[in-house]
Amino acid sequence: MAFREVRVFEVREVLRLWLRGESGRSSARLAGVDRKTVGRYLAVAVGVGLVRDGGEGQLTDEFVGSVVEAVRPHRSDGRGEAWRLLVANHDLIVGWLKQDEMTVRKTHELLGRRGVVVPERTLHRYALEVCDVGRGRRGTTVRVNDGEPGDELQIDFGRLGLVFDSDSGRQRVCQALIFTPVVSRYTIVRLTFRQTIGDVIAGCEAAWAFFGGVFATAIPDNMKTIVERADALEPRLNQAFVEYAQARGFKVDPARVRSPQDKPRVERTVPFVRQSFFAGEDFVDLADAQRRAEQWCRERAGMRVHGTIQARPAEVFRVEEQPRLAAAPTGVYDVPIYTLAKVHRDHHIEVAKALYSVPGNLIGSRVEVRADRTLVRVFARGQLVKVHPRQAPGRRVTDPNDLPSERTAYAMRDLEALQRLAAGHGPAVGAFAAALLDTPLPWTKMRQVYALLGLAKKWGAARVDAACASALEHEAINVGLIGRMLERATENTTTPTQPTLPGVVVSARFARDTDHFATRANGGAR
């Protein structure tokens, strides 16, 4: 027959009845304990000093405990005979359990064939605690204090189910970004179809508005959106979320990978949100679901009596946590874009389908870019090298100082600068360039001006200026003509003319006699 351990209050009752004069049989009947069991406890109690006429004051907790300990079967290690049989066959059990596809149940069967008969449950405990094998092993744990009110806010994503997406016109999986304060458990739920950094920051902004302030520490799940490199001691956080935490004034302490015990308050909230809020409900779209989620947070989740704190979370939050929160943000946070961009040969980088110029000494390298709604900041080796106003996709912004000086005018279509450059080679060259550019589409003639400047570089400014002066005199605005004149060295040649005397008419060359133009009477020519 298996040993039945008598509980302490039953032992105390047996001894109390005996002190009041009841017999052993009567004490057993009144206490509901076997008569032989009563005899064992009475014998031990008398042996350790119980006196029948000493009164019930003798039945202290220490005395009753000593009686119970003396009657209980003594085990030096707290284990029974079955455990000692398993210890004797330890090497055999470990060898079996380490084999592939070997189960504890099969091991129990093999032990039985060898005459080692033990309860299967005892073998399960031995495999988990001693052999360190088996599934579902759980170590011991402790409850961690909640901390100070307004200090910690735990964050986690939970999958809910399908919700209609009005943008795509189809059902999509809806995720719940859940925020749970450690002390009050007053929960806010933010619904989303994605888990991007923008969605997480938007959820945090909604949480600060819901709580009316900012918590000192955020304990998020180890989500890739926030944590770039997971580490139990020194995780590397996403730059965007770090800057957001700096802007809002809270610290980030992410949970470890696959360690739900690091954020147990929000872990317990996830199934509650799924079962109490989402299950069995029909939502028109995500906006309708979000509106009803906020109502559920305030009325159902916030006003229920929480099983652990035995109070309404909304009331505890308003009394204990809300007064200790930092001020809620008043402006909308501008979520920036972070990227690594390559500096191309045209002195520009591409960010969000727009082009921005950078200094020419960075061509071929990669620079870090931070772009918000208004500004684009470019960093090289940790140093800020350029700031541009944000451009729409397809647009471009160029700083002339970022371009080579000899190409700035062409790249920027700076006609005035190009004319000044040409005038620097001589007044006639400047006038010739101005004549070239004097068209309805002057930038289409910029290449001819650059060709003219090339001639000045090749033949010298003086010769080109003389050739331009001659061409202007004859109203021959053609760069090719200037080139031919320089090759033939005719830029200084002038056309000889006959001297004329006052009052003397000089006949033109090949002039005809006036009779050549005479007509006959009938109108025919001679």
DSSP states of 287-303: HHHHHHHHHHIIIIITT
Q: Domain of residue 123: give its range.
A: 81-129
**In the beta sheet, which residues pair with residue 165?**
170
Strands 337-342 and 236-237: unpaired
pTM beyond cutoff 0.85: no
19 in any annotated domain:
yes
End position of a domain, from candidates 327, 356, 387: 327
pLDDT tens-digit map of 217-267: 999 998 889 999 988 888 999 999 999 999 999 999 999 988 888 899 999
Supply the pLDDT for residue 357: 93
Claim to verify: residue 398 and residue 379 sit in the same structural domain: yes
Assess contact for 329 and 208: CB atoms under 8 A.
yes
Claim to verify: residue 224 and residue 286 sit in the same structural domain: yes
Check which CATH number belongs to the domain holding 157 and give it: 3.30.420.10
512 in any annotated domain:
no
**Structure-token pair, residue 292:** 């009803």
Q: How far apart are CA 177 and CA 242, in angstroms?
A: 18
183 in any annotated domain:
yes
Claim to verify: residue 424 and residue 374 sit in the same structural domain: no
Q: How far apart are CA 68 and CA 71, in angstroms?
A: 5
Claim to verify: residue 482 and residue 384 sit in the same structural domain: no
Claim to verify: residue 35 and residue 184 sit in the same structural domain: no
Claim to verify: residue 304 and residue 376 sit in the same structural domain: no
Please report which helix (H) or strand (E) contains residue 93, including its range: helix 90-97
Supply the pLDDT for residue 424: 87
The series of mean pLDDT values per 10 residues for the chain, 526 residues long, is 70 90 87 88 90 90 89 69 88 86 87 90 86 59 84 95 94 96 96 94 96 96 90 90 95 91 92 94 95 96 94 96 95 91 92 92 92 94 94 91 65 71 87 86 77 88 88 85 85 56 56 68 55
Claim to verify: residue 214 and residue 283 sit in the same structural domain: yes
Claim to verify: residue 161 and residue 271 sit in the same structural domain: yes
Supply the pLDDT for residue 423: 87
Claim to verify: residue 212 and residue 164 sit in the same structural domain: yes
Claim to verify: residue 21 and residue 157 sit in the same structural domain: no
What is the count of structural domains for the chain?
A: 5
3-state secondary structure of 164: strand
Claim to verify: residue 320 and residue 176 sit in the same structural domain: yes
249 in any annotated domain:
yes
Claim to verify: residue 172 and residue 291 sit in the same structural domain: yes
